[in-house]
Structure 1
Amino acid sequence: MDIDRLTAIDVHTHVLASVTEEERSGVDSTALAGRFGTIPELTVPELAAHYREREMAAVVFTVDSATRTGRPPRVSNDEIADLSAEHSDVLIPFGSVDPHRGEVAIRQARRLIERGGVRGFKFHPSDQAFYPNDPMAYPLYEVIAEAGLPALFHSGQTGVGAGQRAGGGIRIKYSNPLFLDDVAVDFPDMPIVIAHPSVPWQDEALAVAGHKPQVWIDLSGWSPKYFPPQLVAQANSLLQDKVLFGSDFPALSPDRWMADFAKLDLKDHVRPKILKDNAVRLLGLGS
């Protein structure tokens, strides 16, 4: 990966289609359509082409919520890792394992790490139906921390199930970022990324990130023009070295995000930190 060539690194994108599918059913994207409209379902190679065209890199992942949903992820961790290796000039794969699966999840995480390529792990507490500080998940975090990899956690509201009867069974309470304060204390050497503006808990996210040195915030899932003012203020000052560009593509395009980000009142030296430099440090891409 030629870091100098890249204009930005998007730390939050979803793979919604497998290269093995003859048709794309819309199972994942229809759950989000009420909030984001029509969502393109892209394979790993299609995501690579999208970001290569923009001279950007992207972190790519699925979400394993098999215990809650009763079905495996539409795209496997292995497919994402293998195909990302073929497009390593622009793609950085993260793994996702369901913490409810106990020893199975631990073995899966170890295997993904040992096979190489996976640069972190994605968790979605609301979709996976667990509190991040539940001791049930701690043996899994131990594997991730031992490998020195970051763990990225969804926070706040979610488009998954939005507008559906009973919100599709999704409980947003699991995604209060304050629960990550416990995780940060108990795993002080594991980088933690709080994903998204954490509405309605933005102040909690800022407090945790400001207090715990290994906690970061990504800005995905919301157009920058809707960012809470306190988030913009701290991204422009106290947290300028800990805030990351993320789009949530394909729910929100990097083009839309970047256009609105350009209109934020930010210091000139802060913009490149958010767009690329902070991610380079977090992911160890400069070493």
Structure 2
Amino acid sequence: MDLDTLVAIDVHVHVHADQHGHLALDDELNAAASQYFKGDPYDPTVPDIAADYRGKQMAAVVFTVDAEAATGQMTLSNEEIADLAAQHPDVLIPFGSIDPARGVAGIRAARRLVQEHGVRGFKFHPSLQDFLPNDRAVYPLYEELQSLGVPALFHTGQTGIGAGLPGGRGIKLRYSDPMLLDDVAADFPGLTIIMAHPSVPWQDAAISVATHKANVYIDLSGWSPKYFPPQLVRAANTMLKRKVLFGSDYPLLRPERWIRDFEALEIKDEVRPLIMKENAIVALGLR
């Protein structure tokens, strides 16, 4: 990957379909998410994503979410995603996803994904995977990730998955409170943690955690920048200017729309390249 020629690194890109026609979300959740984001359903495969981002001169962190135990939907293969991403090393950075409920088997899978398939980090969605991030039962998995030297990306705040459905399809928002990650960051200081999204309704908490913990970053995915909470914009311009990362939430929110709205945001000129690329290089250990 030629970092110097990239215009941006998108740290939050979902693989919605595999090479066999299997989808990451079931029809009900997929439709609800598309309605929430006001877009048409689009289920890109890894090669689709590579072609799209290559055309944009961007790199993308790609992943699925292992939530089969909670949702009943078959999880897309981490191995397939990583191996396909390896065919496009100029633009794709593969992350894995492990359901913490897998216990020891999940720890072994994480180690194998890093050592044998080149996975560079892991994505967690506490609300969708139905777990508390600071549950001590999950700590052995974090210990393994810390030992492997790979970051952990956590969904935080509100989610479009299940939005508008009765009971939100049983998905609990409180599991994605960023204050739960303060415990994890404190107990695993060698683990890089990326808190995904503006963490509404806990934005101040996310800013506090990222300010206090050197190993914690924030990605700006999942929201058009024109809707960012003002305190997040202030923090990104000042004390968190080296802790905030560009992320889109592709394919539900496309990078071109995100960037268009970001260009209208009052962000200092010297901060823009940090958010769009330079901070991700540091957080992901790419250089």
Q: What's the TM-score bracket when you normalise by the shorter of the two chains?
A: over 0.9
Question: Which has the larger displacement, 226-235 or 12-21?
Answer: 12-21
Q: Which residue of 2 aligns with 1:16?
A: 16
Question: Which has the larger displacement, 2-11 or 29-38?
Answer: 29-38
What is the CA–CA distance in structure 2 between the aligned matches of 1:163 and 1:223, rounded to whole Å?
A: 19
Q: Which residue of 1 aligns with 2:257?
A: 256
Q: Which amino acid aligns with 2:14?
A: H
Q: Which amino acid aligns with 1:48?
A: A
TM-fit CA distance, 1:116: 3.7
Per-residue CA deviations over 1:189-238 (Å, capped at 9, x if unaligned) read 10000000000000000000000000000000000000000000000000
Identity %: 59
Question: Which has the larger displacement, 107-116 or 148-157?
Answer: 107-116
TM-fit CA distance, 1:70: 2.5
The alignment partner of 1:234 has SS state of: helix
Q: Which residue of 2 aligns with 1:187?
A: 188
The alignment partner of 1:233 has SS state of: helix
TM-fit CA distance, 1:34: 2.3
Question: Which has the larger displacement, 79-88 or 30-39?
Answer: 30-39
Q: Which amino acid aligns with 1:222?
A: W
The alignment partner of 1:86 has SS state of: coil
What is the CA–CA distance in structure 1 between the aligned matches of 2:250 and 2:95, rounded to whole Å?
A: 15
What is the CA–CA distance in structure 1 between the aligned matches of 2:22 and 2:63, rounded to whole Å?
A: 21
Asked whether the equivalents of residues 25 and 73 of structure 2 are also in contact (C-alpha less than 8 Å), the reply is no
Asked whether the equivalents of residues 157 and 200 of structure 1 are also in contact (C-alpha less than 8 Å), the reply is yes
What is the CA–CA distance in structure 1 between the aligned matches of 2:23 and 2:2, rounded to whole Å?
A: 34
Per-residue CA deviations over 1:133-186 (Å, capped at 9, x if unaligned) read 001111111110001110000000000000011111110010000000000011
Distance 1:141 1:22, change over 3 A: closer
Question: Which has the larger displacement, 22-31 or 209-218?
Answer: 22-31
Q: Does 1:48 align with 2:50?
A: yes
TM-fit CA distance, 1:274: 0.1
Asked whether the equivalents of residues 16 and 24 of structure 2 are also in contact (C-alpha less than 8 Å), the reply is no
Q: Which residue of 2 aligns with 1:35?
A: 36
Distance 1:267 1:135, change over 3 A: same
Asked whether the equivalents of residues 16 and 29 of structure 1 are also in contact (C-alpha less than 8 Å), the reply is no
Q: What does residue range 131-142 of structure 1 map to in structure 2 within 5 Å?
A: 131-142=132-143
The alignment yields a C-alpha RMSD, in angstroms, of: 1.4
Asked whether the equivalents of residues 184 and 215 of structure 1 are also in contact (C-alpha less than 8 Å), the reply is yes
TM-fit CA distance, 1:71: 3.3
What is the CA–CA distance in structure 2 between the aligned matches of 1:105 and 1:217, rounded to whole Å?
A: 25
Asked whether the equivalents of residues 53 and 60 of structure 2 are also in contact (C-alpha less than 8 Å), the reply is yes
Asked whether the equivalents of residues 111 and 144 of structure 2 are also in contact (C-alpha less than 8 Å), the reply is yes
Q: Which amino acid aligns with 1:279?
A: A
Distance 1:25 1:277, change over 3 A: closer
What is the CA–CA distance in structure 2 between the aligned matches of 1:218 and 1:21, rounded to whole Å?
A: 29
Asked whether the equivalents of residues 61 and 96 of structure 1 are also in contact (C-alpha less than 8 Å), the reply is yes
What is the CA–CA distance in structure 1 between the aligned matches of 2:73 and 2:41, rounded to whole Å?
A: 21
Asked whether the equivalents of residues 113 and 147 of structure 1 are also in contact (C-alpha less than 8 Å), the reply is yes
Of 62, 84, 96 in structure 1, the residue corresponding to residue 64 of structure 2 is 62
What is the CA–CA distance in structure 2 between the aligned matches of 1:264 and 1:53, rounded to whole Å?
A: 25
Per-residue CA deviations over 1:233-277 (Å, capped at 9, x if unaligned) read 000000000100000000100000000000111111100000000
Asked whether the equivalents of residues 50 and 92 of structure 2 are also in contact (C-alpha less than 8 Å), the reply is yes
Q: Which amino acid aligns with 1:266?
A: I
Q: Which residue of 1 aligns with 2:175?
A: 174
What is the CA–CA distance in structure 1 between the aligned matches of 2:23 and 2:71, rounded to whole Å?
A: 21
Per-residue CA deviations over 1:51-84 (Å, capped at 9, x if unaligned) read 00000000000000122113331x2101110000
TM-score of the superposition, structure 2-length normalised?
0.96
Q: Which amino acid aligns with 1:155?
A: T
What is the CA–CA distance in structure 2 between the aligned matches of 1:41 and 1:228, rounded to whole Å?
A: 29
Asked whether the equivalents of residues 36 and 163 of structure 2 are also in contact (C-alpha less than 8 Å), the reply is yes
What is the CA–CA distance in structure 2 between the aligned matches of 1:23 and 1:111, rounded to whole Å?
A: 24
Provide structure 1 residue ranges, at least 5 long, that are not aligned to the other structure.
Answer: none
TM-score of the superposition, structure 1-length normalised?
0.96
TM-fit CA distance, 1:113: 1.3
Q: Which residue of 1 aligns with 2:131?
A: 130
